[in-house]
Amino acid sequence: MSNETLRARDPEPILRMEQIDKRFPGVHALDHVNFDLLPGEVHVLLGENGAGKSTLMKVLSGSIQSDSGRISILGKEVHNLSPERARELGIGMVYQELSLIPALSVAENIFLGKPHKSRLGGIDWRAMYREAQRSLEDLGLSINPKTEVRRLDVAEQQLTEIARVLTAQPRIVLLDEPTSALSDAERERLFTLIGLLRQRGVGIVYISHRLSEVPLIGQRVTVMRDGKVIGSLAVKDADEPTLVNMMVGRRLTEQFPKEAHAPGRRIFRVESISLKASLHDISLEVREGEILGIFGLMGAGQPELTRAIFGLERRSAGRIWVDEQEVQIHKPSDAIRHGIGLLTRDRRMSLVPALPIPPNVTLANVSQLKMHQRVKLRSEARTASDSVKNLSIHPPSLSRAVMFLSGGNQQKVVVARWLCSHARVLIFDEPTRGIDVGAKAEVFVLMNQLTAGRAGIIMISSEMPEILAMADRILVMRGGRITAEFAAGEATQEKLLRAAS
């Protein structure tokens, strides 16, 4: 059967997933999901972070097992998918996180686990480099296949990863947010390639949360939210408002209990901060009771900005004022002393897991003591039990190691630490990453409480809905610079995206 007949006369999907169900502790990650894919089709899978898109694709690529449901490929039901089995069945997955080995060459990565053997049983390097070169050229890439992967930039690495998947000549290609690190030109090239694959009858699942890409590439779009499929429709019927509605539902108002507080005095100002190569001339200010949102796509420099402000990395230029007083911040304890607090993007980076709540809560205070000074254990216990009560940390045990707490409660312990250190400028770096919907709402309530108490918050997020709902002002970053500023009312998803990409 040629590809043409396959496409013209045979509407039989190459992939059909029915009633796929998957639970993780505390989360219904996939709720009886149905999904199918036709040959020669680009099926866009749309949804916010945590909607279940990646989980669904991991089930299909065999890296996780569903609890129940059926998967058929070319009309035949398959069982016990493993990554190897999925590859044999012609499923190729390009992961969101790069999975290349940095110290190996591009060619070695492309043919990882299946190197070309010479007749003597050794590796046929010449054949391998030749083949690698060819597959890179297919992608319009001019990378020397002998280059070590770590010498490539992120976009080149991502394209190398795609090249690796394509060498196996898959029938079904899963692309998980492939353009997040790509420039416009590279994205164009990727889209051309996708067109080529379509003509060969390959089916493509394209995961994205960029609405603007949908009409450029897809034929069909399926929207997921909270582990459920909200709906599937043809791209020509899918305008942006419809899709946004499907993606966020009514949650925009329900989920973000934003309370506006009239911003007061300026309490924090940063002028012309630069970090060698990754940040250029960034200035910003925060007022009492204000949430300043900072939005940017991956790699725009948000983590670097946090590190530069907090003294975790040496700035090459820039000045900082707290309460109109210029301050010198060279290390985290300087930042803490001047009332700045940082909620790291990964809670695990902030907590000492084997210690119970009290020492974790007071750590930023204790670090300000001299080594020979005493920690007042009794007042520490009091502070901790107050925090537990005020932030309703559960379980309220003061003797139990914090590693036994849930993600949301761990987050609260970190917040308690900065309340305890009397921080008035709080940097929330991706505050909702990796916590479930209920805990998210609690974090937002907490942010309201903090601003009501006249703290100023810098909220760094790549989640447009939450930043639109919570921030009083939004700065957009791209390539280590600030490219736009919006007041709360005037920002929209489109405007943010346009400024960010």
Handedness of CA 44, 50, 54, 59 (dihedral sign): negative
Chain centre distance of CA 432:
10
Q: In this complex, which beta carbon is closest to another protein, that of residue 122 or of residue 353?
A: 353
Helix (H, G, I), strand (E, B) or coil at 125: helix
Cβ atoms of residues 205 and 93 within 8 Å: no
Nearest residue to 361 (alpha-carbon basis) of 346, 374, 379: 379
Contact 194, 32 (CB under 8 A): no
Rounded Cα distance, 87 and 164, in Å: 12
**Alpha carbon of 133 to those of 162, 178, 216, 490: distances in Å?**
14, 21, 28, 48
**Subset of 349-388 contacting another protein (CB under 8 A):** 349-355, 359, 363-364, 366-375, 377
> Closest distance between another protein and the C-beta of residue 100, in Å?
24
- Asked if residue 332 lies in contact with residue 310, where contact means CB atoms within 8 angstroms, the answer is yes
Strands 279-287 and 220-225: unpaired
What are 452's two structure tokens?
């009501």
Residue 400 C-beta: closest distance to another protein, Å: 8
453 binds another protein (CB under 8 A): no
Beta carbon of residue 351, minimum distance to another protein (angstroms, whole number): 6
Binding mask 317-346 toward another protein (x if CB under 8 A, else -) reads --------------xxx-xxx----x-x--
Site string for another protein, 397-436 (x = CB under 8 A): x--x--xxxx----------x-------------------
The CB-of-99 to another protein minimum distance in angstroms stands at 23
Nearest approach, Cβ of residue 342 and another protein (Å): 6
Strand, helix or coil for residue 317: strand
Number of residues that bind another protein (CB under 8 A): 42
Q: For another protein, which is the closer residue by CB, 263 or 356?
A: 356
Contact track, another protein, 9-48, x by CB under 8 A:
----------------------------------------
438 binds another protein (CB under 8 A): no
Please identify, using beta-carbon distances, which residue of 158 and 421 lies nearer to another protein.
421
Site string for another protein, 282-311 (x = CB under 8 A): ----------------------------x-
- Residues of this chain that interact with another protein (CB under 8 A) are 310, 312, 331-333, 335-337, 342, 344, 348-355, 359, 363-364, 366-375, 377, 394-397, 400, 403-406, 417
